[in-house]
A and B are shown apart, each in its own frame.
Chain A
């Protein structure tokens, strides 16, 4: 009996939300837009919903096939393997970056004496274990933990509000610099990170039990996640002010440090880290799962034996990709996002979309001709 692993609609929603929140609340978003960053995020969310629909449409040409199988359908196996390897590299690379984001935060804020490699290794072991268990446990884990993320967010807001740190004046004047900086942040940056990253779901969405709802669910998920991220961005600015946000490496964490209620609830940043960790674990696992699906396609064998060794490689590269945090962020903002992300998230899928569309139409015509 072959067990086809499936993801229910609610689980897909939980995965998308966790994935999108993932690293985007760890590192601040849309710094160039100054106090209008939240507007930029909200606009990007609208675009992101469209992007989600685009990926869904791409998958719905061949229902039941994932990204790699569609590549084969459109280009044939040889080219498909090449492009798949590119995707696999991309997914692993971003997974390593995501893990690095989090590990940097852990070392700088919570566990200053623990080497970053050890923190990474533990995270990667967890990811390896989840992936070894399969997609279903991953989705269920996301399902169980996502209520807590929302609850934590609400609680954090409440605490910040109670301790009187939120001042609406920090985001005023709205649109002081006009639309230009907003448009600039939305178009190369926010489109690729975090909203374009939904491209990994092209390898996962096809396992949804009710595929016809998958697109809508992904769109709703992106919407909710975008609202949450926009909200958190706005909150960061309201609490810290534009300058502090720009200077801080991890703005949400810095904001959480401001909480002080009745001299009793103080320093809740350790708990905030844990909201972030759930998102990171899910995001990392989803990326790695998509990549392992690619390995499964390339090597034509189940991915489980690969999980542990490959995860160890990723844990090595998590520390190899950059010497320090400054290089890591610089590489991310100035090289990875504009070149690598944009290519793999938009250029390749767009070409694939066109080719597949033409091919599917040809087939339909042929069928129509045969029928007639």
Chain B
């Protein structure tokens, strides 16, 4: 569920960003997407990619724990791993 939500929000924001970038640069979708992900901005960009990756891993772990908690019929206690 959390992972699904993760991708949902990711897509939602990507769509919004892409639309605005298309409007600004008057480009096609593909070109915009390409420039969004592959343009060289700085090594710092990897910090952002990595944090999103950590977020993704966390969401998978949280999902797993939520499911096990549900199976154990405990009150769902979820905290930051």
Contact = CB atoms under 8 A, between A and B. Distances in A.
Interface residues of A, number: 43
Interface in A318-342: 318-321, 323, 327, 330-331, 335-336, 340
B18 to A, nearest CB: 10
Interface in A96-127: 96, 115-118, 120-121, 124
Contacts of B66: 305
A89 B9 CA distance: 7
B48 A313 contact: no
Nearest to B47: A117
A88 B16 CA distance: 12
A92 B9 CA distance: 9
Interface residues of B, number: 40
Interface string B1-41: 11101101110111111001001100000000000100101
Contacts of B49: 316
A317 B37 CA distance: 11
A309 B45 contact: no
Contacts, number: 114
B51 A121 contact: yes
B44 A308 contact: no
A353 interface: no
B1 A92 contact: no
Contacts of A310: 5-6, 9, 55
Given A92-B13, A301-B1, A315-B52, A309 B6 contact: yes
A93 B18 CA distance: 12
A294 to B, nearest CB: 10
Contacts of B36: 320
B53 to A, nearest CB: 8
Contacts of B9: 88-89, 92, 310, 313-314
A310 B54 CA distance: 11
B24 A85 contact: no
A306 interface: yes
Given A124-B51, A306-B2, A308-B80, 14 more contacts: A85-B8, A88-B9, A89-B12, A92-B12, A117-B45, A121-B48, A307-B80, A309-B5, A309-B59, A313-B9, A313-B10, A314-B9, A331-B20, A335-B23
Interface of B: 1-3, 5-6, 8-10, 12-17, 20, 23-24, 36, 39, 41-45, 47-49, 51-52, 54-56, 58-59, 62, 66, 76, 78-80
Interface of A: 85, 88-89, 92-93, 96, 115-118, 120-121, 124, 132, 295, 299, 301-302, 304-321, 323, 327, 330-331, 335-336, 340
Instruction: Identify the 5 closest CB pairs spanning chains A and B, nearest first.
Output: A312-B55, A115-B44, A309-B59, A117-B47, A316-B52
